[in-house]
Structure 1
Amino acid sequence: MNGLEISPFIAALPKVELHVHIEGTLTPALRWRLARRNNVPLPYATYDELLESYNVLYNHRKEVHGDNGAPTFLETYFAGTQVLCQEDDFYELGMAYLEKARDMNVRYAEPFFDLQAYLPRGIAAATVLNGYMRAQREGAERFGVQSNWIMCFIRDRPVEEGIATYEAARPWARIPGGHGLFHAVGLASNEYDRPPMLFEKAFQMAKQDGLHTTMHCDVDQKDAADHIHEAIFDVLGGHGTERIDHGLNALDRPELLQGLASKGIPLTLCPHAYHRRQATDVLFPKLRRLWELEGVKWCINSDDPTYMHNVWIDGAMEKVYHYCGLSKADMVQLSRDAVEISWADEKLKAELLQELERFEEKDC
């Protein structure tokens, strides 16, 4: 946290999280326990060695910056998924996140999940999705955290494999006759030379089913601004995606900011993820500039907290609050924007906005 502590104000602020990868919330403790339960070998002799592995400063983009010998973030992330094998594993992972969300005053979340990472290992779609669905339903009852989930296409895997995965997952979608686990599709994993338009067929299928669409356009990736341009102006027959995950490089080109504003496409930003690679005096002025722009909405999220120094949404919000010099009223407005950006139903949105109004009257 760069010496920052989470303030009582940020801790108490009601929150909505729209950009968190459920596999990126797998704690070392749960990973260790599931590995032992499922007889999955880990390259660590002791739990302390596993813990130490999370302190590695991952070389996030081997293709761009070269290989320094350390495991990349994505290599570590997908290594973690190997311990997830049984329905109860996915249930426990989902419940652990939703309990943590409750403790951070997150009222509503839209977690990403990577079904495509499991099917090649012979794990049935039902095993994964029933586990997450149990967590979705029980987490709402036990912890008061409502959630709608987002299935990701793994973009460095073949597109046709992603389409087959979507077809396998379709009975769990929020469509007529579906179980209602997920209401949107997105993209995940390595973006290097894998622009959004490669997945046009997959997104068209989901859109025809009535699902929402969002697209990762990671920060400072190769061709990052070009990917944002495709997401705004080219995908879905030129209509554009409904949301962009990350997308901070829209600041690089005026036409991208204009496109976001004119089409009403918001960004789900993960400030700590960028702070790992950008200096404080570089990153936070960008966020401040984005905050001051008319017509471009964004919200604060955690991304993959257990693989990113264990900084969750509350820590990310504290950083923006502190380094951007925002007021308490500004932070409440960012939370309002998150509610409005979300795909929660209108009744829940109204309840969340009313809670934020009460909070602002009391705490600001």
Structure 2
Amino acid sequence: MEIEAFITNLPKVELHIHIEGTLTPELRWQLGHKNGIALPFDSFEELEASYRPDPDDERIGADGLARFLKQYFGGLEVLRTASDFYELGMRYFRSAAAMNVRHAEVFFDPQAHTERGVPIAEVMQGLQDAQGQAKQELGMTCDYILCFLRSMSAESAEEIYDLCQPYRHTMFCGVGLDGAEAGRPPLLFRSIFERAARDGLKVTSHCDFAQPNTHEHIKQCASTICGTGLDRIDHGLSAADSRELIEMIKNNDIGMTLCPNAYNRRWSDHEVYPLIRRLFDADIKITINSDDPTYMNDKWIVHNMQMVRDRCPFSDVEMIQLAKNAIDICWASPARKKQLMDELFRYQDRMISGKTPACKVVEISGLVPLPSLT
């Protein structure tokens, strides 16, 4: 995919990236050998090929999701020590900085590591060291979001939250919920969400696209949990099918983190991009992010932004608005948000004055008609 200079140079904030989902085949192979872990591949080439599934094989709904999760969690086996987590974090931060990501809020899954017998201190210390090094070396700020695994109990979520207390507000600024959604509504985790909110943390939850009961799950996140809803909703694209949900999300000023490539792997363009366009046109603060790039055909934030640029389509001004949305709904300090916004405004001014490579403004046309709202 050819990325426009306008998108490459655009200062970015990434709000939906799983650090475990940035594990490259190279690092997995390297850490496997370092830690004496036998990988289920006869060669590096075979491992690398496993990251490139047949695109047609992806578009089979829940089975495709199940295979993705199996591969995702299978890769975690090589992460054992603080240095492993540090290396994982720094590889992402350096890649992100090269794409002009200025601030990131990064999911991590501590239960997936402690369940394997990895001490929580190894996870936290490695990621925290990478967090500090990214700021010092790259001038890039980062906060982590402690994600609870949907497949595990609410009691397990409470236990991992207790273990991570020494790092609250210094390393992680919020909590979230991820994993297979079917039969595991966000309301099951209401107690830990509301406890985290009382502790001054931000709260978000995945509501995956086109999953069973997704409208009800979005509604729980947008209105029920924490009184007037969570601070953000991750994915939640199916809200575009419901006028009630659109109004609820907008009225409660809840931002959304969208990952177009994640949906496009299993659904066609006309099933995905008109919905993104609808949420944007409803003045909901949507943002564009990469999700689990190394397991999703190696598509990072710049690729996802180019996809919506081309397929929604979005003009220069609208792409700038997406970048503003990300700053507006991020959880950085007010001072840092001002820095980020000032940098974006300077970029916008350079673009207008012609000092940045020009990109044509795309007219909104040729979209597949949207289904009526329910």
* Alignment TM class, shorter chain as reference: over 0.9
**Cα displacement string for residues 24-54 of structure 1 (whole angstroms, at most 9, x for unaligned residues):** 0001100100000001111101000001101
Aligned match of 2:130: 135
> Could you tell me whether the CA contact under 8 Å between 2:59 and 2:265 is conserved in 1?
no
* Amino acid in structure 2 at the alignment position of 1:250: A
1:57 is displaced (CA, Å) by 4.3
Q: TM-score, normalised by structure 1?
A: 0.93
Aligned match of 1:125: 120
Separation (CA, whole Å) in 2 of partners of 1:71 and 1:205: 31
1:92 is displaced (CA, Å) by 0.4
1:282 is displaced (CA, Å) by 2.5
> Could you tell me whether the CA contact under 8 Å between 1:186 and 1:213 is conserved in 2?
yes
- After alignment, is 279-288 or 77-86 more displaced? 279-288
Aligned match of 1:263: 252
> Could you tell me whether the CA contact under 8 Å between 1:60 and 1:73 is conserved in 2?
no
1:61 is displaced (CA, Å) by 9.9
Aligned match of 1:113: 108
Q: Percent identity?
A: 42
The 5 Å alignment of 1:179-258 reads 180-236=170-226, 238-258=227-247
- After alignment, is 126-135 or 250-259 more displaced? 250-259
Distance change >3 Å, CA 55–CA 71, structure 1 → 2:
farther
1:86 and 2:74 matched:
no
1:281 is displaced (CA, Å) by 2.5
Aligned match of 2:157: 162
1:72 and 2:60 matched:
no
1:71 is displaced (CA, Å) by 6.7
Separation (CA, whole Å) in 2 of partners of 1:213 and 1:310: 28
Aligned residue pair count: 351
Runs of 5+ in structure 2 lacking a partner? 353-374
1:339 to 327, 333, 348: 327
Distance change >3 Å, CA 61–CA 158, structure 1 → 2:
farther
Separation (CA, whole Å) in 2 of partners of 1:117 and 1:280: 33
**Cα displacement string for residues 160-200 of structure 1 (whole angstroms, at most 9, x for unaligned residues):** 111101100111110xxxxx000100001111100000001
SS of 2:16 mapped into structure 1: coil
Separation (CA, whole Å) in 2 of partners of 1:273 and 1:299: 14
Distance change >3 Å, CA 221–CA 60, structure 1 → 2:
farther
**Cα displacement string for residues 188-246 of structure 1 (whole angstroms, at most 9, x for unaligned residues):** 1111100000001111221121110001101011111110011112112x321110000
- RMSD of Structure 2 on Structure 1 (CA): 1.6
Separation (CA, whole Å) in 2 of partners of 1:133 and 1:61: 37
1:329 to 292, 314, 317: 317
Aligned match of 1:177: none
Separation (CA, whole Å) in 2 of partners of 1:191 and 1:60: 18
SS of 1:93 mapped into structure 2: helix
Separation (CA, whole Å) in 1 of partners of 2:302 and 2:228: 34
* Amino acid in structure 2 at the alignment position of 1:333: Q
Separation (CA, whole Å) in 2 of partners of 1:181 and 1:65: 34
1:14 to 11, 14, 34: 11
Separation (CA, whole Å) in 1 of partners of 2:36 and 2:211: 37
1:27 to 24, 29, 40: 24
1:298 and 2:286 matched:
yes
- Give 4+ residue runs of structure 1 displaced > 3 Å after superposition: 57-62
Q: TM-score, normalised by structure 2?
A: 0.91
2:50 to 48, 53, 77: 53
1:287 is displaced (CA, Å) by 1.4
> Could you tell me whether the CA contact under 8 Å between 1:60 and 1:74 is conserved in 2?
no
> Could you tell me whether the CA contact under 8 Å between 1:339 and 1:352 is conserved in 2?
yes
> Could you tell me whether the CA contact under 8 Å between 1:251 and 1:257 is conserved in 2?
yes
> Could you tell me whether the CA contact under 8 Å between 2:89 and 2:131 is conserved in 1?
yes
> Could you tell me whether the CA contact under 8 Å between 2:222 and 2:229 is conserved in 1?
yes
* Amino acid in structure 2 at the alignment position of 1:131: G
